[in-house]
Structure formats: structure tokens, C-alpha cells
Copies of this chain bind each other. A is one copy, B any other.
Amino acid sequence: MEFTARQISDMLSGTVQGDSDVKVSRLSKIEEGVPGSLSFLANPKYTEFIYETKASVVIVGKDFIPEKHVAATLIKVEDAYAAFAKLLEIYHQIVRDKKGVEQPCFIDQSATTGIDIYVGAFAYVGKNAKIGNRVKLYPNSYVGDNVIIGDDTTLFPGVIVYSDCVIGKSCTLHAGVIIGADGFGFAPSAGSYNKVAQIGNVIIEDFVEIGSGTSIDRATLGSTTIHKGVKLDNLIQIAHNVEIGENTVIAAQTGIAGSTKIGKDCMIGGQVGIVGHLTIADNTKIAAQSGVGTSVTEPGQIIQGSPAFSISDYRRTYVVFKKLPDLDKKIQELEKALAEIRQTIS
């Protein structure tokens, strides 16, 4: 794909400064620009690069005034970063525009499928499954019996959705995501364990993105629920009957134990652990590697530690933690000094 500076400027409602006929066929960082590439300048820290970049076209903010000669054609827009992100998105859509049904795949005859779908080879669609319009099921993905998948959702290769789960519209499930495996429920019985059957499901609402290798277990009864707009990174563990509120974002390798309810608009760092049956208030922020052992009832708090408490307290505490050997020595000196004083005054 090759575009002229003018064509791109038109897509972005921008104005061209320089050669509007120069052609670009790829995107690059400004410091790695090459002839034929398109870049952008949004962060002032990178301004120096615009005078040396070999990129043919650079998107800049409308207020950018060069202080030296710029070889590249400039496209001036309202917000350079947003404009570039829009271009990335357009590029992405073109690259990932897969359609059609590759063979062999397996679609049970009782399943229903929408229009303009992509079904890769070795993809599997079980009994009574409902596949929406423009859904993409990449190769080796698995859609169990009775599963519903909303319009415009993509399952990358190797995604597995167990029976009876529901995936919303415009969701992206990356490779290796597993939805609806059994929750970890066992009842002790005479020295060993009996499995507690897990007959609930998982409901994932619209506009959710889930990173590679993340597992979301089905509920024992009822549903494990991931609300609208949630973004989950890679290798996250979500246990049975958990609920995650709208637009909450969770970084990689975090684990949430059974029946915990996470509020809306939370930001949870990587490798965090949250124990079961808690409630985490809306807008809570949790620092990476924290362990949360009690509910967070007041919205908007920031916590850290294992067990976690207020991040500002944690940081002040950790400063003292690092000088503990000194403190230990000081206490010994104090004890010695005190003993001497006692002797003196006795």
C-alpha cells in the first residue's frame, strides 16, 4: 500500500507543508525514519529528530514551527499523536481484513453464522453456537456448544471458549486465551477432595480486549462477568464468579481469586494477587506485585504492598525498611548508652 502525503493529509483533515506528492508505504518512529516512511512528532522530547529524520512525511501538531530546515514533508493536524494512532488503526484494519471460510474447519450444522465472517482452517464451532457478523475465528480456535459471539469480535489462533459462554461485540481475544474452564472448586472428603461441578458460565460484554494466555474460569453457578470496555493484559488469572467493572484495566500476570468483585475504572498493576470474596471499590489503583487481602471500600485509593495498604504509607515505610540494619545498630547503641548512664547515676 502506497499513499501520497496529500491522501494521508485528507484522511486526517490536515494541511500539507512541503511536497504533497511524496509517497509513503510504511510507518516508523521518527528516530528510525527511512525514505518512504511516515512518522509523527508528538512528544517535545523528540523534536530534535525532526531535523535529521529520513522519513518522507512527518505528522506534527498544527502549532509546530520548525527552528531549522526540515527535509520531510509535514502534515499539520490538531493532535499529532491521535492522528498517528488513527493511521495505525486504519493500517491494522487493512492488514487484518480476513474473510471467508478456510478448509478444513468444523462448523456444527446446528450453529448459526453471520455475514462476512472469517473462519480459519482447523477452527471449531460447536452445537448451537451463534457467531455474529464480521466475526473472525482464526485457525485452531475453539468455540464450544451454545456459545454466543457478538458482531465484530476476533478470536486469534488457539483461543478456546468453553460451552455456554457469551462473548460480546467488538471484543478481541488474543492467542491462547481460555474462557470458561472449570473454576477451582473442591470439597474435602475423607482425606481427598471431591470436585464441585462448575455449571455456570462466563459473560464478556462489549469492547473487551483480553491478552494472550489469559484464563477466565466459568462460575460454579451464575456467571463470571467481565463488563464493557475492560482491558486485560497477558497471562492473567480470573477465578470463578469474579466480576470486573466497566473500563477497568489490569496488567499482566495478575490473579484474582474466586467471587471477588472489582469496581469500575480501576487500574491494577502486573503480578498483583487479590484474594477471594472481596470487593474493590471503583477507581482503585493497585501497584504492581501487591497482594490485596481485604476489601477496598472507599473509591479512588492507591495501594501497595503484600498485604497492601496506602501507597504513600508504603513508600515511607519502605524507605525505613531499607535502613533497618542501621536502626538495629542504633537501638543497640541506645541500649548500651542507657546502661552506661544508669551506672553513672546510680
Across-interface contacts of A138 in B (CB, < 8 A) = 142
Contact of A235 among B89, B233, B237, B344 (CB under 8 A): B237
Q: Given A160-B158, A178-B212, A306-B289, A92 and B251 touching (CB < 8 A)?
A: no
**A299 within 8 Å of B (CB atoms):** no
Task: State which residues 309-324 of A face B: CB under 8 Å.
Answer: 309, 313, 316-324
Interface residues in A86-109 (C-beta closer than 8 Å to B): 88-89, 91-92, 95, 102, 104, 106
Complex-state Cα separation, A271 to B154, whole angstroms? 30
Is there a chain B Cβ closer than 8 Å to A225's Cβ?
A: no
Task: Write out the residue numbers on chain B whose beta carbons fall within 8 Å of the beta carbon of A337.
Answer: 338, 342
Interface-central residue, A102, A237, A291, A316, by most chain B CB under 10 Å = A237
- The answer to whether B120 and A122 touch across the interface, beta carbons within 8 angstroms, is no
Residue pair A187, B345 in contact (C-beta under 8 Å): no
- Chain B residues closer than 8 Å to A89, beta-carbon distance: 195, 197
- Whether A91 and B142, one on each chain, are in contact in the complex, defined by CB atoms closer than 8 angstroms, is no
Known interface pairs A95-B163, A222-B29, A291-B288. Does A255 touch B237 (Cβ–Cβ under 8 Å)?
A: no
Which B residues are CB-close (under 8 A) to A253? 237, 253, 255, 273
| Complex CA–CA separation, A181 to B140 (angstroms) | 15
The interface stretch among A8-16, A43-51, A213-221 is A213-221
Contact pattern, A 195-219, Cβ under 8 Å of B = 1, otherwise 0 = 1111100000001010111010100
Instruction: List 25 A-B residue pairs with CB atoms under 8 Å apart, sorted by A's residue number.
Output: A28-B221, A88-B196, A88-B198, A88-B221, A121-B122, A158-B160, A158-B178, A174-B178, A186-B209, A186-B231, A193-B247, A213-B235, A233-B237, A251-B257, A270-B273, A307-B318, A313-B325, A317-B322, A320-B327, A321-B321, A327-B331, A331-B334, A334-B335, A337-B342, A341-B341
- Which 6 A-B residue pairings sit nearest by Cβ, starting from the closest? A88-B197, A92-B197, A320-B324, A106-B121, A181-B212, A142-B157
Given contacts A327-B328, A327-B331, 10 further A-B contacts (CB under 8 A): A85-B197, A89-B195, A139-B142, A158-B160, A215-B235, A237-B270, A321-B321, A323-B328, A331-B334, A337-B338
